[in-house]
Chain A
């Protein structure tokens, strides 16, 4: 599998660290109710199919949001986090 790093171009899977679904980008407000934090930290749509998840390109330190398919492993695209919000 190769992922497109916005800095470095397509790179091999072994250079990346996976964090999880892009839910991690939608951090609740500090005073949001506990349910919102529970949801944010733990609950996942976990789709069989198209997903968007977060990866760290270790060599260059860039976090990216990758759109890909969890069933076929097809990689559709990726952006840096600034564009992913």
Chain B
């Protein structure tokens, strides 16, 4: 069923009775060509690109709960391509280009909104670091504009330019940055993959990965055994647990990141704004809620919830950056489980086990990566070769020292 305005009109006139399920609810078959563990954004995108780019359709996505129930369903929805290290830069650039065609690709409105992202800087040193970043973005073919304080004032009059503890010197403006409707991304990929014959199997928890003589031969699940010669682990947040089933230990520690949304408000903020000194970022959803977040809670956690010191710190940062938001009320807070790696960058690679692939370690930047991650993971699983834009996301880079440390904070997992 193609979605378009005419269809909405027709269904509306006939009582909306003709809508069909977005995806089937198939029972698992005993064997597939490939299995993807994890029905989140990355896993569903992997399935879609396997089907569309590589013609691999005899595959299943195995999801423990409901599709899109992990971090794709609980993030702050920011989409950007503003990395500066070779390795990250080309990957996120590729991802943004995929975002720009996603609605047409999937025939699903994921509400990708390129409303512009502004990273504020608060010292000469920070400006220099953002200049380096901006020049890298331009060199990558993406967009970046360095704004001075006065230009910024015109664009964002609601910031505190005069009293803030860390004065605002200017900002790096990434016009193609923005947001998207997170759940819709999962559903769009799911629906498109399903239409190509991919089996999306919900409530199917993988309980074991079967390995024989160094090669993967299938998995055991809460819904029985399923055989496959290629298995992808795409379970960011829970990567360590799933990898353990294959006897692997990963360079990952799980941390909680909290996020917040306010009650709905009429449009009052037209960009995504990030405040470097306070670790605070904010945008307004199409429904009107201000969506914002800050730093990790910093302790290892699988609880998907955090504590008040971080909550209060985020709110203080918001007040000092944008004091008008004091009158908005926080409606809901939540936490996601972040796969934190020792350099803050992800892993898309083969594992020491033949036929077992890993897409993990997205730290708290996984949402914007969904299209390119799926694209590159599909490429890796289909061809056994890393995709050129993801070739540096190697599992062994920590051993070799070929790191991708954008923050420059070193090998401690929670500092990225």
Which residues of A9-46 have CB atoms within 8 Å of chain B's CB atoms? 12-14, 17-21, 34-35, 38, 41-46
**Cβ contacts A61-77/B at 8 Å (1 or 0 each):** 00000000011110000
B252 touches A18 (CB 8 A): no
- Taking A20-B414, A43-B250 as contacts, is the C-beta distance between A53 and B300 under 8 angstroms? yes
Q: By the criterion of a CB under 8 Å from any partner CB, how many residues of chain B are at the interface?
A: 24
A71 touches B302 (CB 8 A): yes
Q: How far is the CA of A85 from the CA of B95 in the complex (A)?
A: 46
Q: For B302, give its contact among A41, A42, A48, A53 (CB under 8 Å).
A: A48
Q: By the criterion of a CB under 8 Å from any partner CB, how many residues of chain A are at the interface?
A: 27
B301 touches A73 (CB 8 A): yes
Q: How far is the CA of A41 from the CA of B250 in the complex (A)?
A: 11
B300 touches A70 (CB 8 A): yes
**Secondary structure call for the A interface:** mixed
Most buried by B among A18, A34, A46, A48: A46
Chain A nearest Cβ from B343, distance in angstroms: 9
Q: How far is the CA of A16 from the CA of B144 in the complex (A)?
A: 38
Does A51 touch B at the CB level, under 8 Å?
yes
Q: How far is the CA of A84 from the CA of B253 in the complex (A)?
A: 21
B241 touches A44 (CB 8 A): no
- Taking A41-B411, A46-B240 as contacts, is the C-beta distance between A17 and B298 under 8 angstroms? yes
Chain B nearest Cβ from A64, distance in angstroms: 13
Q: How far is the CA of A16 from the CA of B49 in the complex (A)?
A: 44
**Cβ contacts B261-304/A at 8 Å (1 or 0 each):** 00000000000000000000000000000000000001111110
Q: How far is the CA of A45 from the CA of B253 in the complex (A)?
A: 8
Chain A nearest Cβ from B303, distance in angstroms: 6
- Taking A38-B399, A44-B240 as contacts, is the C-beta distance between A18 and B414 under 8 angstroms? yes
- Taking A1-B307, A20-B412, A20-B413 as contacts, is the C-beta distance between A43 and B301 under 8 angstroms? no
Report A-chain residues with C-beta under 8 Å of the C-beta of B307: 1, 13, 73
Report A-chain residues with C-beta under 8 Å of the C-beta of B249: 43-45
Does B342 touch A at the CB level, under 8 Å?
yes
A71 touches B303 (CB 8 A): yes
Q: How far is the CA of A73 from the CA of B307 in the complex (A)?
A: 10
Q: For B300, give its contact among A13, A14, A38, A51 (CB under 8 Å).
A: A51
Q: How far is the CA of A82 from the CA of B253 in the complex (A)?
A: 25
Report B-chain residues with C-beta under 8 Å of the C-beta of A13: 299, 307, 309
Q: How far is the CA of A67 from the CA of B401 in the complex (A)?
A: 31
Report A-chain residues with C-beta under 8 Å of the C-beta of B299: 13, 18, 53, 55
A19 touches B302 (CB 8 A): no
Report B-chain residues with C-beta under 8 Å of the C-beta of A38: 398-399
Report B-chain residues with C-beta under 8 Å of the C-beta of A1: 307
B250 touches A44 (CB 8 A): yes
Q: How far is the CA of A13 from the CA of B307 in the complex (A)?
A: 9
Does B65 touch A at the CB level, under 8 Å?
no
Q: For B251, give its contact among A14, A44, A73 (CB under 8 Å).
A: A44
Q: How far is the CA of A55 from the CA of B414 in the complex (A)?
A: 12
Q: How far is the CA of A19 from the CA of B309 in the complex (A)?
A: 17
Which residues of B222-281 have CB atoms within 8 Å of chain A's CB atoms? 238, 240-241, 249-254
Report A-chain residues with C-beta under 8 Å of the C-beta of B252: 44, 46
Q: For B303, give its contact among A42, A47, A53, A72 (CB under 8 Å).
A: A72
Known pairs A42-B342, A47-B240 / 13 extra A-B pairs, C-beta < 8 Å: A12-B309, A13-B299, A17-B298, A19-B414, A20-B253, A20-B413, A35-B399, A38-B398, A38-B399, A42-B399, A42-B411, A51-B300, A73-B307
